[in-house]
Every structure is written in structure tokens, then in C-alpha cells.
């Protein structure tokens, strides 16, 4: 940072969000860095700045206004932004990420003021390496990239989906402490097939239909190769790609570069952790349970594969483990006799008669856990939840689709329809529910419990790959951090206030895997925990003189 600082003075320094301290610049700094007269004369502390920010933030009358306000703060003073977020994470996370980020993406072109991150479009083919060189920070360790085709449960938002990489990387810093100068959000603008965006004069992307087929694959190959050349130590996270591309990209590159897909692997880990925690309330073993999914896309199939790995670790044969995971898609139960199944569903297509509805599937299979990853609002109807409650003393109901508007059911519905017996988790936050004098605190199966810690562990160890084993140990670590006090509230995840503690523990576990499997670039240090801690950014102002 010091080498970076010596190039900045005066207005240039104030316009750099990584270095700007606003009114907190000291008298000596103002004198030596050419800031006198460019700031109001009163010097304020960071604590006073925090008070001002929170007062303004809490005066906003809508979540979108709050989002825009925080984005504006991040654009001018990242240190203050991250201090505000880390000290008020429970209040801020639903604004900077799901559910509000979904609404922000939908309206992105209508409040767009300043480009952040890199936009690489199909018009840049043959020039991607040169474009990566325009980024001002050379030591990039974490890249989140999307092509905007499947933004949360909202569908194809094209270039408007840039809000997702920006939000994810904000959580990498806030939740795990990755330095913001080492994080790079990228939007691959390959067009959009959403006609309303193509007709919108304020849409920020290319007004073209999506690039597909071999031309798309060639574009992605150039992008991945260029990233490897220009940022050789970076981990590349694929985010919110459409199902077909998400699975194929992960399979194509996972053994070639340091990469993962959070929608597939991160969601799987946080769900497995929740299922493991729920066993402390229901009793029994994972191997005794049957799991039914509504939705057979990236998230659902990813969860299924990780559950299989967990069951295998308990001594269950792989084929038996697969038969404990069942899926319902838009055409009914996924069974072997169907001829319309895409490749990623086939490992979970079992012998069974055709079943057309979720309710029929529940009655036929009698699952212990119902997991919603469909993006279908209200997919868990009252009869479905009541059937789960009739079949199980403590039915596990996970409505994981994001944002909140896409959840398969609400927390209130899950508790009311199960007479308060449901063990409930959701992807986006729900408020506590009081029923019959008992207050139930819903768990939030948010990937933010997983991916920041995984990323920090990969970066700290210099791992050259991200493996399924890393997500497995991340899930085990997360489940182990759930306290008896959490469970007494019905919450199967730790309090979000502990997210940095959680992320550091996961990072250490992930780094240990990297060292044990020979994936780290350097030898294992005496203290892995100490190494991980040394990478953690703290949002405090530096002394510049």
C-alpha cells in the first residue's frame, strides 16, 4: 500500500476509495499530502464518521435507497464502508447482498453512476489480456465472474448482474478479511435474452441476444487463459451462470486452474452443515435420512453430490448414498424411466414409478428433509409442509431460493403449518416467528458462511486448486461451530455476528487440506492459523505520514 500511496496526493488521494480517509486525515497528513483546503477544517475520528454514516443510512426509507447509499460510501471510502459493515453485519448484509442486491440488479441501469470492476464483452475477443492490464491493482487473489444469465432466482439480467460479483467480494472482505485491493469483480457481457432489457434505453450492456455454442466456449477459454496469464495467483469463482454453462465450466476447468462455483459447491456446503446441525435436534445419523429436493439445477445437484460424499464418509456405499437423494423438477420426480433428463440429473435418477407433483413425492418417499432450490415462490404449499410434519416429529424444511421473494415458503408458514415443529432454514433472512408463546429463530443457510472462509484458506495457502474435500471440511467446521444456545433458539447456524470467527476457522481447515494434498505453493508453516490471520484485512485507517 505504501508504494501505491506515494503516487497519490491532493484530489487524486481523495478520489481513491482505498486510500481516502475523508475528514479523518490528520493535520500533518493534510499538510504533507496537499489536502489543506480540500477538506472541511474540522478533523473527525472514524467513530464520529461511523455515527454520521449510520444516522444517514437509517434515515433512508427503502432498502434500495440504503443499498445505493452504501455503494456510494464504498466508492469514496472503502475503509469506512467495511468498518460500518463489519460492525453492523446483521443489519448490513441483507442490504449489500441478498435480498436487496437482487432488486438492485434489476434496476442497475436506472441508478448507474460509476463503473466498478471490469466489464469484458464479446466485442473484446482477442483483447482480453490487454483489458485485464487496465485494472490498477496487480496482486489479485480472488476474482468473482458472472455472465448474468441466472442472477439469484431472477433469471437473465445480462450486464445488470454486475451487482452480484461486487456484492460477493464485499462479503469476502467483510466476512473473512480478504484485502479489497486483492479482489476483482468481472462481468462477462455476452448479451441477454431478456427482451425487456434489450428494449430498455438505460440498459448498460450490449443490446444483443446471448452468445451461445462454440463461440461462447471460445470466449470463455480466452478469458480463463488470460486470467491465468495476468493474475497467476488468483482464484476464479464462477457465479450465477446458467445451469448448462455452470456445470460444463466447472468440469472443464476445475482440474486445470484454481476455481470453483459457489452456486454448486458453496450452497452444497452450507446446506450440508445445516443438515448436520439439525441432527442434534432430531437425533440419528445422516445415513438414516432420505432427502427430497424441489429443483434439480446447480444448487440442488451440488448439494446432492456433497451429501453423497458425506454419506460415503459414514460408510454408506455410493449407489446407496445416491438413492437417499431424490429430486423433483418442473416435470415431476426425477426417475430413471424419463427420457428428458439432462446429463447432470442422471446420477440421481432412480428406479421408481412416475410421480408428477411434490406432494405425491413426499407421500411416496417419506423424506426426513425437504430442500427447496427451485426459485419457485410458494413451492412448499401447506399440504406439503403438513405432510412432512405428519411423517416426521421434527421435519427439516429448507427454503433456500433467493431472494426472499423466491423462497419456497416463509418461516412463518413453515412453523405454523408444522405446529412449530419444523427445523427451518432459508437462503435469505426471515425475522423470528412467535407461535404459541414460543419464539423460533430461523436459520439462514447463506453461502456467506462458507465461501469467504474457503477463499481465505485458498489464498493464504496459495492452493493451486479448490477441491470438493475443501467444501466438505468447511461444512463440518461450520456445523461444529453451532452452539447449544443456537439450537435452543431453533437456529442451526451460528449467529452472523460470529462470521469472522467462522470464516477464520474454515480458512484454517481449508488450508490444511491444501497442505495435506500437496496443492499449496509453499511448504506448510509452523502455524497455519497464524498464516491465515496474517492475510486478514482490518478496516482501520493507516497513518500516511
Residue pLDDT, tens place only, 259-283:
999 999 999 999 999 999 999 999 9
Residue ranges of E strands in 110-202: 118-121, 142-146, 183-189
What would the mean pLDDT of 299-310 be, rounded to a whole number? 96
Active site residue 69: no
Active-site residue (options: 8, 66, 168, 345): 168
Confidence of residue 1 (pLDDT cuts 50, 70, 90): very low
Largest CA distance in the chain: 79
Which of 184, 166, 165, 283 minimizes the C-alpha distance to 230? 184
Cα–Cα distance between 166 and 185 in angstroms, integer?
6
Q: Kindly list the structural domains of the chain, giving each domain's residue range(s) and its CATH number in brackets, ordered by start.
A: 2-95 (1.20.1370.30), 96-257 (3.40.50.10380), 285-420 (3.40.50.720)
Cα–Cα distance between 158 and 207 in angstroms, integer?
10
- Name every residue whose Cβ is closer than 8 Å to that of residue 385 and which is 6 or more positions away in sequence: 395, 397, 409, 413, 414, 417, 418, 422
CB neighbours (10 Å) of residue 207? Answer: 13
| Residue-by-residue DSSP string for 222-236 | HHHHHHHHH-TT-EE
Active-site residue (options: 8, 67, 82, 97): 97
Task: Using the predicted structure, report yes or no on whether residue 477 has a pLDDT greater than 90.
Answer: yes
Active site residue 4: no
pLDDT the model gives residue 244: 85
Task: Using the predicted structure, report yes or no on whether residue 4 has a pLDDT greater than 90.
Answer: no
Tell me the C-alpha to C-alpha distance, in Å, between residue 481 and each of 4, 343, 429.
Answer: 39, 36, 20
pLDDT the model gives residue 6: 55
pLDDT the model gives residue 154: 92
What would the mean pLDDT of 151-173 be, rounded to a whole number? 96
Residue percentage of the chain with pLDDT more than 70: 99
What would the mean pLDDT of 401-426 be, rounded to a whole number? 95
Tell me the C-alpha to C-alpha distance, in Å, between residue 48 and each of 19, 169, 404, 514.
Answer: 18, 26, 34, 42
On the CB side of 170, CA atoms within 13 Å amount to 32
Phi, psi of 235 (to 5 degrees): -95, 130
Q: Are 64 and 104 in contact (CB under 8 A)?
A: yes
Tell me the C-alpha to C-alpha distance, in Å, between residue 494 and each of 250, 434, 477, 479, 503.
Answer: 29, 20, 11, 8, 11
Cα–Cα distance between 79 and 73 in angstroms, integer?
10
Q: What is the CA radius of gyration of the chain?
A: 23
Task: Using the predicted structure, report yes or no on whether residue 8 has a pLDDT greater than 90.
Answer: no
| Residue-by-residue DSSP string for 41-106 | S----HHHHHHHHHHHHHH-SSHHHHHHHHHHHHHH-HHHHHHHHHHTHHHHHHHHSTTHHHHHHH
pLDDT the model gives residue 461: 98
Confidence of residue 2 (pLDDT cuts 50, 70, 90): very low
Task: Using the predicted structure, report yes or no on whether residue 423 has a pLDDT greater than 80.
Answer: yes
CA 216, 455, 450, 536 torsion-angle sign:
negative
Which of 459, 267, 292, 474 minimizes the C-alpha distance to 365? 292
Residue pLDDT, tens place only, 216-244:
999 999 999 999 999 999 999 999 999 88
Lowest mean pLDDT among 7-11, 58-62, 467-471: 7-11
User: Residue 182 has which C-alpha cell?
Assistant: 486483492
Averaged confidence pLDDT in the chain: 95
pLDDT the model gives residue 371: 98
Residue percentage of the chain with pLDDT more than 90: 94
Residue pLDDT, tens place only, 360-378:
999 999 999 999 999 889 9
**Consecutive H or E run containing 443:** strand 443-444
Tell me the C-alpha to C-alpha distance, in Å, between residue 433 and each of 89, 261, 405, 415, 485.
Answer: 21, 33, 18, 8, 17
- Name every residue whose Cβ is closer than 8 Å to that of residue 219 and which is 6 or more positions away in sequence: 122, 125, 188, 190, 211
Amino acid at each position: 500500500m505504501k508504494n501505491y500511496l506515494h503516487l497519490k496526493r491532493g484530489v487524486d488521494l481523495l478520489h481513491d476509495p482505498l486510500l481516502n480517509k475523508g475528514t479523518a486525515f490528520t493535520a500533518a497528513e493534510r499538510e504533507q499530502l496537499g489536502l489543506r483546503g480540500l477538506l472541511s477544517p474540522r478533523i473527525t475520528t472514524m467513530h464520529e464518521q461511523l455515527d454520521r454514516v449510520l444516522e444517514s443510512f437509517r434515515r433512508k426509507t427503502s432498502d434500495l435507497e440504503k443499498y445505493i447509499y452504501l455503494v456510494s460510501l464504498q466508492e469514496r471510502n472503502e475503509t469506512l464502508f467495511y468498518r460500518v459493515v463489519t460492525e453492523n453485519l446483521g443489519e448490513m448484509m441483507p442490504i449489500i447482498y441478498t435480498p436487496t442486491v437482487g432488486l438492485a440488479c434489476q434496476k442497475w441501469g436506472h441508478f448507474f453512476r460509476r463503473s466498478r470492476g471490469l466489464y469484458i464483452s464479446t466485442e473484446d475477443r482477442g483483447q482480453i489480456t490487454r483489458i485485464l492490464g487496465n485494472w490498477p491493482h496487480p496482486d489479485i487473489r480472488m476474482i468473482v465472474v458472472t455472465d448474468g444469465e441466472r442472477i439469484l432466482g431472477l433469471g437473465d439480467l445480462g450486464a445488470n448482474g454486475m451487482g452480484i460479483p461486487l456484492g460477493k467480494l464485499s462479503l469476502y472482505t467483510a466476512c473473512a478479511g480478504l484485502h479489497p485491493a486483492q479482489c476483482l469483480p468481472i462481468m462477462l457481457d455476452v448479451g441477454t435474452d431478456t427482451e425487456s432489457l434489450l428494449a430498455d434505453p438505460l440498459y448498460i450492456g450490449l443490446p444483443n441476444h446471448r452468445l451461445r455454442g462454440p463461440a461462447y466456449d471460445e470466449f470463455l477459454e480466452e478469458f480463463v487463459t488470460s486470467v491465468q496469464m495476468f493474475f497467476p495467483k488468483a482464484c476464479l469463482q464462477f457465479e450465477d451462470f446458467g445451469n448448462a454453462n455452470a456445470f460444463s465450466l466447472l468440469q472443464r476447468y476445475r482440474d486445470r486452474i484454481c476455481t470453483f462455483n459457489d452456486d454448486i459447491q458453496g450452497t452444497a456446503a452450507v446446506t450440508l452443515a445445516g443438515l448436520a446441525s439439525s441432527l442434534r435436534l432430531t437425533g440419528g445419523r445422516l445415513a438414516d435420512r432420505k432427502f427430497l429436493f424441489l429443483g434439480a439445477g446447480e444448487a440442488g445437484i451440488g448439494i446432492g453430490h456433497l451429501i453423497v460424499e458425506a454419506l460415503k464418509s459414514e460408510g454408506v456405499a455410493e449407489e446407496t448414498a445416491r438413492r437417499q437423494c431424490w429430486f423433483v423438477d418442473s416435470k415431476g420426480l426425477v426417475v430413471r424411466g424419463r427420457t428428458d433428463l439432462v446429463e447432470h440429473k442422471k446420477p440421481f435418477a432412480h428406479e421408481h414409478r412416475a410421480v408428477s407433483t411434490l406432494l405425491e413425492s413426499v407421500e411416496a418417499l417419506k423424506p426426513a428433509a425437504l430442500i427447496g432450490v427451485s426459485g419457485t415462490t410458494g413451492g412448499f404449499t401447506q399440504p406439503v409442509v403438513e405432510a412432512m410434519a405428519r411423517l416426521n416429529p421434527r421435519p427439516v424444511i429448507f427454503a433456500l431460493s433467493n431472494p426472499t421473494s423466491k423462497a419456497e415458503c416463509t418461516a412463518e408458514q413453515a412453523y405454523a403449518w408444522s405446529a412449530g415443529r419444523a427445523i427451518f432454514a432459508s437462503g435469505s433472512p426471515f425475522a423470528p416467528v412467535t407461535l404459541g408463546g414460543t419464539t423460533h429463530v430461523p436459520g439462514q443457510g447463506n453461502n456467506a458462511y462458507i465461501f469467504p472462509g474457503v477463499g481465505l484458506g485458498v489464498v493464504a495457502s496459495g492452493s493451486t486448486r479448490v477441491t470438493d474435500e475443501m467444501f466438505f471440511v468447511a461444512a463440518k467446521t461450520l456445523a461444529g461451530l453451532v452452539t447449544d444456545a443456537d439450537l435452543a433458539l431453533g437456529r442451526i447456524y451460528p449467529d452472523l455476528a460470529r462470521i469472522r470467527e467462522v470464516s477464520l476457522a474454515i480458512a484454517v481447515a481449508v488450508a490444511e487440506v491444501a497442505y495435506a494434498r500437496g496443492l499449496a505453493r509453499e511448504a506448510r508453516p509452523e502455524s497455519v492459523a497464524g498464516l491465515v490471520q496474517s492475510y486478514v484485512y482490518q478496516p482501520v485507517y493507516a497513518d500516511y505520514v
